[in-house]
Amino acid sequence: MKSREIHLTQHFTGKVKPEYFEMTEIDLPDPGEGEIQVKNAWLSVDPYMRGRMIGIKTYVDPFQVGGPMEGGAVGQVVKSKADGFAEGDWVMSMHGWREGWTAPAAGITKIDANLLPAEAYLGVAGMPGMTAYIGLKRMIDLKPGESLWMSAGAGAVGTAGIQFAKAMGANVVATAGGAEKTAFCTEIGADAVVDYKAVDDLAAAVKTAAKPLGGVDAYYENVGGDHLQAALDVIKPFGRFAVCGMIARYNDDTPLPGPTNLTQIVAKKLTLRGFIVSDHFDLQGQFIQDLSGWMMAGKVKTRDTIYEGVEKTPEAFMGLFEGKNIGKMLVKI
């Protein structure tokens, strides 16, 4: 089996450009003892991948230049020489950005594509969903009746977070950019929505939107920059921040200054907690249990933005930073 795969041509800072990626085609070797060969069906692109392109070790190692990229992927086993894996089985792996792969079966997760669509394991039931869940449950400890501001409300984590927060009995103010995204936030249950691209004063707009909900008790940070500044202004005393990401900052050529109002951390006695999903897998069982219940009760909808063909993976990835996705950004092979 042949497989086309995307390689990184160099490490870089600043804006992501197409020339940083190249596609090559390889012949997949037959699986050896304990290995499987898999044809990927869906590839994930996620903002965190940006950090691995800089070439500096952060919390994960950088991508290797000239080698295949890594990322979440789901696909079906084509050939197996590993116990417990049969042709046709659906699996989830980090062998993404490629059409197929041959690798050891150890560490590869089998998924049930009858229970949920296979691609959901890259979205609401996968890393973005778990990220939303941990932020709300463990970082913020969101309580029924409280009000959450979810930033990037139409993104993969945001759409999961809005619906999970509602399912937990909380109120949600969502922010998103543009009419289509804000409409989607409303559709999935946000009590109030602000189009950050359409307002001059984000803090004032969120404050007004949150007023009927009793103000903002907690903020889910996906954006950084002006959103963080506004959140520090808007949040109520003792507010909690789940700091999941700051996508507005990832492509800066040179680091930009932070908010001018950080003294609010003291004045309002705020707690800010940064986190990475992989440190919290102990909550996975509880997440799956809660999510199953919410899905059966019809409380969680999903929507994906889909690019077709492995060659579109860099374009899909770059689209994340231009806000081109509603819901989870996926590449269909």
Footprint on this chain of its own copies (rule: CB under 8 A): 51, 58-59, 224, 228, 237, 243-246, 249-250, 255-276, 279
Cβ at position 38, least distance to its own copies in Å: 31
The one-letter code for the residue type at 178 is G
Give CA 96 to chain center in angstroms. 15
**Cα dihedral 46, 48, 53, 54 in deg (nearest 10):** 150
Cβ atoms of 92 and 121 closer than 8 Å: yes
Cβ atoms of 188 and 158 closer than 8 Å: no
Cβ at position 330, least distance to its own copies in Å: 23
Is 259 strand, coil or helix? Answer: coil
The one-letter code for the residue type at 216 is V
Cβ at position 232, least distance to its own copies in Å: 10
Q: Give the number of C-alpha atoms closer than 13 A to the C-alpha of residue 216, restricted to the C-beta side.
A: 31
Cβ at position 7, least distance to its own copies in Å: 25
Cβ at position 55, least distance to its own copies in Å: 14
- Identity of the residue, 49 or 310, whose beta carbon is nearer to its own copies in the bound complex: 49
Cβ at position 32, least distance to its own copies in Å: 36
Is 210 strand, coil or helix? Answer: helix
- Identity of the residue, 79 or 268, whose beta carbon is nearer to its own copies in the bound complex: 268
- Identity of the residue, 131 or 313, whose beta carbon is nearer to its own copies in the bound complex: 131
Q: Where are the beta strands (DSSP E) in 28-68?
A: 35-44
Strand 73-80 and strand 328-332: the pairing is unpaired
**What CA–CA distance (Å, rounded) separates 175 from 161?**
12
- Identity of the residue, 7 or 52, whose beta carbon is nearer to its own copies in the bound complex: 52
**What CA–CA distance (Å, rounded) separates 140 from 119?**
28
Cβ at position 319, least distance to its own copies in Å: 21
Is 251 strand, coil or helix? Answer: coil
- Identity of the residue, 61 or 180, whose beta carbon is nearer to its own copies in the bound complex: 61
